[in-house]
Amino acid sequence: MTTQSPSNADIKDRKTALLVFGVLEIVFGALCSLMVPFMMFGMLTTVVLEESSTPSTDARMIAPSMLFYILLAVWLIVMGIGSAMARRWARALVLVTSWLWFITGIVASAVMWWMLPDMYDEAIKSNQMPQEVVNVVKFVTFGFSAIIYLFIPGALICFYGSKHVKATCEEWDTCIRWTDKCPLPVLAVSLLAGFGVVCMLFMGFYDWAIPFFGIMLSGMNGAAVALVVMLLLGYVAWGTYRLSTRAWWCAMMLIIAWGVSVSMTFSRTHVMELYEMMKLPIEQLELMSSYALQKTSTLLQLSALWAVVAVAYLIYTKRYFARPFEVPRGSL
């Protein structure tokens, strides 16, 4: 690794800032890893108290969360190390995932502002919580969500998207990395497809319950459909990274098919049927049935929104598949 600083007078060396951000990411990764023993402790505690009136914890429900925190911890620690070392691939991956995080956060925040007030009003009417407590919970919930979904990814976008950070990484890491060989907007599609494969694997914890063009599947039938989807998503992840037009069309067909499947299924059946086929604990099913989260119309609207956003973004990335991508020398 070279010890030179950027020679351009208009560019500021951000090596120290990259180190600081890297350390913070490593710390957050370590905190995420601590969630795993805490969740295991909670599960063991409920097992010990099983003889009392406390309902036992379903390990099958906790396992996906534990795996999620493990994967998140590994990701943050690896990205933190790469950032501290001013690696090109770390900057590219953090920037892409921060944009995905930020866009998802906007949609999630909008959904919270839309749905949570009804839940709180229901809690007040049923005397579960007084108005003063609800006001505090609202403030904490919306404040926390704004920090997690908007402020943190926004700060990462501003920092890693800076021309100074970009130039610093190029100066300290002179090798052409694998992230340099694909436009960042297309890299986002590839990463999302890969993440989709992981999400499909997590469905195994829920008996492979899946809506499928008007019917609900689970068990071996659901697993077979999930396997086909995983193979297609894997092809999309690999093909879009290589700027394959066929992979782009495959991604488009998958999104359209998913939107049609969800619309057909939940226009005929209730979303609670899906939750029941997922074999969720009775306590969770009762809680879901009590609030607006169980509204089929809401699920259809959210699915349609995500499908429109995904199709629009894919159309935007089509320009990068029209001609061979030339890897810029010394830059992303």
Q: What is the pLDDT of residue 265?
A: 85
Flag whether 200 is in a domain.
yes
Flag whether 191 is in a domain.
yes
Q: What is the pLDDT of residue 98?
A: 94
Say how far apart CA 228 and CA 255 lie, in whole Å: 14
pLDDT of 164 strictly over 80: yes
Q: What is the pLDDT of residue 1?
A: 40
pLDDT (mean) for 132-152: 77
pLDDT of 158 strictly over 60: yes
**How many domains does the chain fold into?**
1
229: nearest Cα among 205, 245, 207, 250: 250
E strand intervals along 116-232: 210-212, 215-217
Hey, how many other C-beta atoms are within 10 angstroms of the C-beta on 319?
Answer: 11
Flag whether 3 is in a domain.
no
Q: What is the pLDDT of residue 52?
A: 47
Q: pLDDT tens for residues 176-230? A: 899 998 999 999 999 999 999 998 998 888 889 898 998 888 889 999 999 999 9
Say how far apart CA 116 and CA 79 lie, in whole Å: 34
E strand intervals along the chain: 210-212, 215-217
Q: Give the pLDDT band of residue 330 (cuts 50, 70, 90).
A: very low
Range name among 6-20, 230-244, 273-287 with the lowest pLDDT average: 273-287
Domain of residue 218 covers 182-332
Q: Give the pLDDT band of residue 273 (cuts 50, 70, 90).
A: confident
The beta-carbon contacts of 111-118 under 8 Å, at least 24 apart in sequence, are 111/302, 112/141, 112/142, 112/145, 113/142, 115/292, 115/293, 115/298, 116/141, 118/291, 118/292
pLDDT (mean) for 288-316: 73
Q: Give the pLDDT band of residue 331 (cuts 50, 70, 90).
A: very low
Flag whether 36 is in a domain.
no
Residue 99 CB contacts under 8 Å (≥ 6 apart), including other chains: 153, 157, 188
Comparing 115 with 292, which gets the higher pLDDT?
A: 115
Comparing 134 with 227, which gets the higher pLDDT?
A: 227
pLDDT of 110 strictly over 80: no
pLDDT (mean) for 280-304: 63
Q: pLDDT tens for residues 70-93? A: 999 999 999 999 999 999 999 999
Residue 176 CB contacts under 8 Å (≥ 6 apart), including other chains: 327
Half-sphere exposure (Cβ direction) of 28: Cα atoms closer than 13 Å:
16
Both tokens of residue 96? 């892409």
Residue 331 CB contacts under 8 Å (≥ 6 apart), including other chains: 166, 170
Q: Determine whether 322 is exposed, middle or buried from the number of CB atoms within 10 Å of its CB (0-12, 13-18, 19+).
A: exposed
Flag whether 121 is in a domain.
no
Residue type, 224: A
Flag whether 238 is in a domain.
yes
Q: pLDDT tens for residues 25-73? A: 999 999 988 888 887 776 666 655 554 444 445 666 677 888 888 999 9
Flag whether 306 is in a domain.
yes
Flag whether 73 is in a domain.
no
